[in-house]
Structure 1
């Protein structure tokens, strides 16, 4: 990837672009009146654009603009703050002070919910292999302002690491986190989830294997949690107990470990 600024460059945008260039070790390129499409054609790569209101990425083979926004996480968070139950928190049995390892971070919606649940005494680590999603999540979680202080604090607490989750798990210590979580790309797109569908082509296509789950079981103290399409055969193939919800197109599955 390369980094540039919006067409109307200011000193603030220039400083921010160069800061991101340093942070993510990506080359900065002057706009000089050249369009983003021309930059993509010339450098044959994705382009990170630093604008006044947000940072977005224009993929090399796509006209879309990918940017960070907490989307449904804010809706889910409001329900939590209103005292309502949240399926991820209930299924993973997340409590204050627990540790949560999100092996498929994406744009961090579930990690934000986990961070709210475990609070400042807990910890959330998000693993993302894809360069585009890693940059969007890391930059967005550190800078996005939602207007809700508790929500923003939850975002800031998430540690984002660029790595392949299998490699990360193999390096992790045994029983080092309470919950290991997977949310792989669904084999069948959910049409109502426009935000997720827009990044399907950017997400890692690596499937969750028995070997990966074996490492997850070693690393987790309490349980491994899988989120997948309700029709997915991953629950059965990988040995998860599927928690069915009549009104939802996705279900959670769990592997309980604390009694072993």
Structure 2
């Protein structure tokens, strides 16, 4: 059964830029996660998704890398011209080390996230959990609204215990499936970058993502999962087909009927 409360609109996902919007489909109220794309693409894909950008009531930032933050300034100014001035939530370390957020400190409402301390925004409860990435600090989010839950995990070399706990019993799961191990090993990246991507503070491989999905589907609450989307898929070390097939196999092995989709770098994908 489709999630009749929370809908995830992935506006862009990948190393060139990331942004997503979570919508309460009953009210139209929204939050955004990250903004590493230009204002034109952000607003254009919101329109394509049927999302009114003026309904975005908060922006949550996963970490300080520029592919998640570089579009914040211009996009927030664009939203401001529409009469929308959402606060930006981030961990202390992100506020301190992100050059983009420091630059915007005087012109935006920036608020500190704390571990396990829910933030209420747009009628949703948002909790941050730690991920494992080579950033000043990095996190994912669990979003709950009216008995439905969405888990959002991207940019992590491993699934931390806290992340696994946060992803239990969600109805919609956004889970990084960045690279195929063999494609990364034999691909065009220099050695140091291959080491970084495949490290415990890099990005989840297809195998790691499938293993995590398989674990979640064997635990209490697994029957709630309705949709999973593969995130941050590498265009150099992966294909868009491999994560989909991997997630479909994991769901089939668990005897679970789940809708599987893949997020793209340059076009909208909506799920939930």
Task: Looking at secondary structure, tell me which structure has more helix per residue.
Answer: 1
Question: What TM-score do you get using the length of structure 2 for normalisation?
Answer: 0.36
TM-score (normalised: structure 1)? 0.37
Give the structure with the higher percent strand: 2
Q: Rg larger in 1 or in 2?
A: 1
